[in-house]
Amino acid sequence: MFKKITLIYGDGIGPEVTKQSEKVLNTVAELFGHQFEYQRALLGAEAIDATGAALPEDTVEKALNSDAVLFGAVGHPKYDNDPNAKVRPEQGILGIRKALQLFANIRPLTTHKSLKHLSPLKPGPTNEKIDLVIYRELTSGIYFGEKQTAEDGSWAADTCKYTAEEIERIARLAFKAAGNRRKKLTLIDKANVLDTSRLWRKIVQQLATEYPDINTDYMFVDNAAMQMILNPAQFDVILTENMFGDIISDEASVLGGSLGLMPSASIGAKTALFEPIHGSYPQAAGKDIANPIGSILSAAMMLDHFEMHDEAALVREACTWTLANGFVTKDIAPINFYFTSTVGDLICDYLQGRIVDSVKQDNIELRKSTII
């Protein structure tokens, strides 16, 4: 199969993690006889430095003319600490989500046995095995509503608005996903306070009658934040609006052991975009220590999107293999860690079948895979 992929490295650790995914995709292409053609585009602080805009026209054009976008990360401390900055890196990712109409952000979380000790939760039946997926609305709500700041700076306002259509299109995807999983859907909202949440609830209640085999559940977001800690195993598909989804998914991500592991797919009108949920982690940029798994699993979601399911499954298996055998980055093993690029190399070795069962950790040197 031929696919055109736009690579957006972005800021901070974006380039180094995305390069590992590129290696993995190239290995998959070679093994399965696919052809992936890449084009690079700029977004975020890197784009502001180069062009003055967080989302150059050229980036949108390239993205629209490709089958998928693989994105790294966005954000730079020089803007975080300057509330007066007119142009902000984050406008780049928000802008491309809008431009590509990526209304559904899909964030799966599964726990790995080998990383159990990293969970901030005490081990028990409520977190023994977590397997959930968050469907976060991505192109509306308070992120995109009207914004105002008083000229004298004495007040500011952000508006949260949703249309029935915006809710219905993502809700349908979430119901379908639940049908292919454990058949449970939880809508997270704040319907005891917010009009927008009451609209979400109304639409989801109506749709629930069309999906009678799905057990549909409703939860206020404050309670959901608590339930995510008390009993995360209860969740299957979570459906929620933009900002609640942003917050709940960061909370959920640490239950898997590291924020660096969690991938995401954003789908919408045409071109889909794939990105790890972690940020640009500027303190680690250029040090080859960031976790590439979030990006590589995002690339696996891209392969699934291309209907390359065997390829995606193999990439996931390779990631699990590195995690199970301690070939992990510093966020997971602060002392005995492997470099970003080594983990990427090992995953490629695994894909190529170059890892044999008898291989022991001693045979793999730091930084460089010695397996032949």
Binding site for ligand IPM (CB under 6 A): 74-75, 90, 93-94, 246, 277
Write out the DSSP string of 343-361: HHHHHHHHHTT---TT--G
246 binds Mn ion (CB under 5 A): yes
Min dist. Cβ of residue 290 to ligand IPM (A): 16
Pick the closer one to Mn ion by CB: 59 or 280.
280
Q: In what order do the strands lie in the sheet with 184-189?
A: 35-40, 2-10, 68-73, 272-274, 265-267, 104-110, 131-137, 237-240, 184-189, 215-220
16 binds Mn ion (CB under 5 A): no
Pick 90 or 158: Cβ nearer ligand IPM: 90
Determine the Cα–Cα distance for residues 24 and 315; give it in Å rounded to an integer: 8
**Is the CB of residue 171 less than 8 Å from the CB of residue 239?**
yes
Binding to Mn ion by residue 241, rule CB under 5 A?
no
> How would you classify the pairing of strands 147-149 and 35-40?
unpaired
Q: Which residue lies nearer to Mn ion by CB, 297 or 314?
A: 297
74 binds, among Mn ion, ligand IPM, none (CB under 5 to 8 A by kind): ligand IPM
One-letter amino acid at 286 equals: G
- Exposure pattern of 12-25 as b/e (b: 16+ CB <10 Å)? bbbbbbbbbbbbbb
3-state secondary structure of 61: helix
Task: Indicate which residues carry an active-site annotation.
Answer: 143, 190, 222, 246, 250
Instruction: Please identify, using beta-carbon distances, which residue of 17 and 277 lies nearer to ligand IPM.
Output: 277
Which residue number, 38 or 144, has a Cβ lying nearer to Mn ion? 144
CB of 138 vs ligand IPM, minimal distance in Å: 7
Length of the chain: 372
Q: What angle do CA 331, 334, 336 make, to 5 degrees?
A: 120
- Rounded to whole angstroms, the Cα distance separating 297 from 129 reads 19
Q: CA 127, 132, 135 angle in degrees (round to 5)?
A: 145
CB of 363 to Mn ion, least distance (A): 38
80 versus 217: smaller Cβ distance to ligand IPM: 80
Q: What is d(CA 86, CA 99) in angstroms, rounded to the nearest whole number? A: 20
Q: What is the nearest approach in angstroms of ligand IPM to the Cβ of residue 238?
A: 15
CB of 85 to ligand IPM, least distance (A): 14
* The residue type at 149: T
Which residue is closest to ligand IPM by CB?
A: 90
Nearest approach, Cβ of 18 to ligand IPM (angstroms)? 15
DSSP notation for 184-201:
EEEEEE-TTT-HHHHHHH
Write out the residues near Mn ion by the rule CB under 5 A. 246
